[in-house]
Amino acid sequence: MPETTITQLPDPSGFSTDPFTDILRDGARKLIEQAIHAELSTLMAAFSGDRLDDGRARLVRHGHLPEREVMTGIGPVSVKVPRVRDRGAGEDKITFTPSILPRYLRK
């Protein structure tokens, strides 16, 4: 009996999981991360001359924030944003928030 009675239901999210879409999502993730790293390198270069009293750099890379999903036109894309640590004391703390991916942005 070669015929089947099983009906394939469409994905409720509306995004298929074909290989071409996976390649596009991976490319979108890489482009977003490249833009974030370019913005971070600009920030690090701007504050590269700032030093603490003991000679250490004031602004340093400090790993990544937890990976988060951003909804794009081709579906959800997981993105890792680098974390920056300001070792300086005082009220004027330097924080890194990418302009392309602000906090709490999901779409």
DSSP secondary structure string, 79-92?
Answer: E--EEEEE---SS-
Secondary structure letter of residue 66 according to DSSP: P
**51, 84, 103 from 92: Cα distances, Å:** 14, 14, 20
What does the pLDDT read at residue 16? Answer: 60
**Domain segments of the chain as ranges:** 19-86
In this prediction the pTM is 0.76
Amino acid identity at 49: G
CB 65 within 8 A of CB 83: yes
Predicted confidence band at 15 (pLDDT cuts at 50, 70, 90)?
A: low
Give the pLDDT score at 95: 87
